[in-house]
């Protein structure tokens, strides 16, 4: 419970801090995402981490909806685990120079999926749902014509998973700092609407 209070306090502080900057994109629409594919002799994994669209409702702030998924195939045991997340997000952009920017983003997602576990030599399929709160900074590089390369450099998140089957335990996870799961690259494209 103490970790959850600390996490929520940090989320509120970041949200309050992000209100003060300016970036001239009001009225624009942003689409962004990152698709990943990884294959080994044991199987393959395909994911989006995540993809989304947003509307710039002020000069520097946007809000939208994003969706992430992960499909992991295990060839040896012949099963595929699926996970999904969807929900609203809010982000704020601070220009650092003509081509570089700092971005803060907050995601609030609903989770669901299915997972296979081996218990007592038998493989069991179970389903789950839950929620995810995530706050993270990104560094962006403007590539021109509305395109930008963005790198997620850290994360603070809380994930709660509720099992629908006895085979899958209910669990929670807190992620803080920088590690392999908190770093990623993606592309975005800003589309400006002419009045």
Q: What is the per-residue pLDDT across 48-96, written as a single tens digit (0 to 9) for each?
A: 888 999 999 987 899 999 999 999 988 877 788 899 999 999 999 999 9
Domain at 57, CATH number: 2.40.160.20
Handedness of CA 16, 179, 35, 147 (dihedral sign): positive
β strands within 2-121, DSSP E: 28-40, 43-56, 61-74, 79-95, 100-119
| Average of per-residue pLDDT across 21-27 | 58
Tell me how many domains the chain contains.
1
| Helix or strand (DSSP H, E) at 112 | strand 100-119
Q: What is the model's pLDDT at position 185?
A: 79
Domain region containing 142: 1-192
Provide CB contacts within 8 A for 153, sequence distance 6+: 136, 137, 138, 139, 178, 182, 183
Residue 19, pLDDT score? 36
pLDDT tens track for 122-135:
777 889 999 999 99
Tokens of 163: 């099992």
Give pLDDT tens digits for 98-153: 899 999 999 999 999 998 777 777 777 889 999 999 999 999 999 988 889 999 88
Per-residue confidence (pLDDT) for residue 18, from 0 to 100: 37
């Amino acid at each position: 419970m103490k970790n959850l209070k600390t996490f929520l306090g940090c989320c509120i502080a970041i949200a309050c801090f992000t209100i003060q900057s300016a970036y001239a994109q009001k009225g624009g629409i942003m689409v962004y995402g990152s698709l990943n594919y990884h294959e080994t002799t044991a199987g393959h994994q395909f994911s989006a981490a995540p993809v989304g669209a947003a509307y710039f409702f002020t000069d520097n702030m946007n809000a939208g909806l994003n969706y992430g998924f992960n499909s992991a195939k295990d060839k040896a045991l012949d099963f595929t685990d699926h996970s999904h997340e969807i929900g609203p997000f809010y982000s704020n952009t601070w220009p650092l120079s003509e081509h570089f920017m700092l971005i803060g983003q907050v995601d609030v997602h609903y989770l669901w999926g299915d997972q296979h576990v081996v218990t007592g030599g038998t493989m069991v399929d179970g389903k789950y749902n839950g929620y995810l709160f995530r706050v993270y900074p990104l560094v962006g590089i403007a590539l021109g014509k509305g395109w930008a390369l963005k790198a997620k450099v850290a994360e603070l998140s809380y994930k709660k998973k509720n099992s629908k089957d006895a085979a899958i335990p209910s669990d929670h996870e807190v992620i803080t700092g920088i590690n392999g799961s908190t770093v990623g690259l993606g592309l975005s494209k800003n589309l400006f609407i002419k009045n």
